[in-house]
Amino acid sequence: MNMSFASVFLLLLSPAAGFMHSSAPSFGRAPTALYAEVTVALIKELREATGAGMMDCKKALLETDGDIDEATDFLRTKGLAKADKKASRVAAEGKIAFASDASSKAVMVEINCETDFVARDSSFLEFTDSVANAALSLDGDNLDDLLASDIGGSSVEETRQALVAKIGENIQVRRFAGRGGEGSTVGGYVHMNRIGVMVELEGGSEQVAADVAMHVAAMNPAFAVAEEVPEEVLNRERKVLTDQALESGKPKEIVDKMIEGRIRKYLQEICLVTQTYVKTNDKTVGKYLEENGAKMKGFTRIVVGEGIEKKEDNFAEEVAKMASGGK
């Protein structure tokens, strides 16, 4: 049997729904005298404002004598308990949000959820963009400072908890990073909401920085310039290459000369400025920067969910457990 939207609301308001009986509310307070004033319009307004279910909206309005603001707070409070339970679930999907301002400062924020479906939800996307804009006003990368920042009259953390209650998934503001400021040029690129890169230059333009950021997203260099490579990384690579060459039977004096050439090639491969620029394939990134009056200062690359261990369900084990009565 099909029922219209209005019919569902009328059914909710009817005595048969169980809310007109004196024992209906189970919130620990006496029945309100305003039951009749909890109208379809009020329920609809609260549902649209909070995203909560119709029955929950009805109960919240009864509990708060039909006050929309108090009912909203009531649902948010109820939602916090749900959010706490959901916080233990793995949130490895999500979005990288990028924001910049006129002072050449830019930030990226990683916000996680449980499924790629929610990662495309308009409320989730709006939240991520708002958090990125809030991060622009901060110095440093202290996550607690970001969570306490204001967005739309509530803190980031309060807004996050309300979103958990509305969407029904664990949502976490995981990390953020900033670059730039006076004397710098920063450009960013976010690929499919999942890989975010900021490139900071001396000179050049935002477009040049964004072009190089696209290269970083694709090629994932370990370092910006050779000077950043730690000595222990070079020593480890040098030892591996030396052992390989000696095992081939080559004399040590020849091996020593070979190794230095291979180390130079290794540095070219792992450092951004010496990689072949992917958009043209006819010059290095360093040469591209030079042609555009820019010099590399550094980059930041963030990937959604990196380092988070995803839960892998084993269907065979689940079936076996059910067959054995859960033992």
Residues 302-317 pLDDT 10s: 999 988 776 554 545 5
How far is it, in rounded angstroms, from Cα 136 to Cα 107? 6
Tell me if 155 sits within 8 A of 147, measured CB to CB.
yes
Look at residue 40 and tell me whether its pLDDT is greater than 50.
yes
Terminal C-alpha separation, the chain? 41
Q: In what helix (H) or strand (E) does residue 242 lie, and over which residues does it extend?
A: helix 231-247
Tell me if 119 sits within 8 A of 194, measured CB to CB.
no
How far is it, in rounded angstroms, from Cα 128 to Cα 216? 23
Q: Say if residue 270 is exposed, middle or buried (CB neighbours under 10 Å; 0-12, 13-18, 19+).
A: middle
How far is it, in rounded angstroms, from Cα 109 to Cα 239? 38
Give residue 39's Cα distance to chain centre. 39
Q: How confident is the model at residue 6 (pLDDT cuts 50, 70, 90)?
A: very low
Query: 116-144: per-residue pLDDT in tens?
Result: 999 999 999 999 999 999 999 998 889 99
Tell me if 167 sits within 8 A of 124, measured CB to CB.
yes
- In the three-class reduction of DSSP (H, G, I as helix; E, B as strand; rest coil), residue 205 is classed as coil
Strands (E) across the chain are located at 93-100, 105-113, 150-151, 154-155, 172-180, 185-191, 195-203, 294-303
Rounded to two decimals, what is the model's pTM? 0.69
Report the candidate in 75, 80, 27 with the shortest Cα–Cα distance to residue 52. Answer: 75
Angle, helix 54-63 to helix 68-86, in steps of 10 degrees: 120
